[in-house]
Structure 1
């Protein structure tokens, strides 16, 4: 498997008269881990949906290895691109193994059964997310974190050259957050992921793209991007950014915000 180059060139996405993102460009070179960060509603999920072909750009182009992703046959895209989304249904009446086996579908003909290679890849994917003990459990009976790990395993079993993940650490405990991101970091694939945790993004991502109100505010290596000034402008928070002595990555510490005065507080201080 050869890692894919992803180029997003001047993409605008709309929903009716509302612009979700406008004129966004992003490049992920083969083998890079690229993080998309920004506050809620900044357009992170929308941008990722354009890459895994749920939202068609109103303008601009998403290219995979130099070819417009939206011009490729669905099956060909599925062999290259795997996605882990936020709003996945838990209503599958399938076992965990059957869910993960779905990742092999793009590589088979209709009604083909699992080959020994498929079985090995499914087992490897389950092991990579620490879900081997869940193999025969019904998917709908799992906790949120367990389901998230299984869906990531399904994407790994797909053996994509481009993996797109929207908040992959959602619902995961700290250990599994670190394990999953370590796994993604070691893949022979290009990885594009949206993250809320800026310290995880700083440590695991080669470069960051900061979205605000549907546009790219800044992009570059985490050490260049994560500054107190930018975090105040984008998130409206006060922070301190230092270099972690062991990891060498930027480490963000957020300072408490002043509480907003309540109605009772205002009245207590009002003149008699």
Structure 2
């Protein structure tokens, strides 16, 4: 069962125009990270998931595949096209689990009135926390999550931040077209968070934190890198305007040249900060 969407937020997502490419080309959640998240839910009867910045529903899909007996999923995103993709991906695999798609900013999320939505046992945020009002999101999670719930903040960087010969050359090409600053949608430069996620969590109710790092090696085909770029805030087609076709042609030649000398490999580390309420010390 899928419950109706909530009303639209004032600000739409940066990634709406690239939702289909996001679904097709963005890497999923690595299996060891899925197992970690599953362990936080496995002993619970009828567990409930709240996934913030759900995108195309990668986290709910991975946890549904883990056969935890999820009872309900609240999937929140500021982009309606992303939620449409999530609906299409999740509907065939829901089974008895119910799903509510929430069109809202993460910090503005509220459960359905009248107690119809059970408190989540796990609140997840994958590759999206940096776009959010993080203190407000953590305060919201404290208001609505179950007393013994966990919050998982996850991510692994991007091809912009990855340091390899082929990604450096690709980044330089993007900068030649768009300027040195990393773009964050049209007319905006990306600003690094002023403090770390660990500092955000330490200043919140979710101060009992464990860090889990999962190395991931990915081999990219040139055509898949091109598709991935279309889904990003730093190389989306609308940033290039009429020069986008020329950029993609040049990027494809660059990637093909690097691929002829060996695979386009990304050595990433997928990091999960698993947090619970309390004053426990972080473990490294």
* TM-score over 0.5 for the pair: no
Name the TM-score, length of structure 1 as normaliser: 0.28
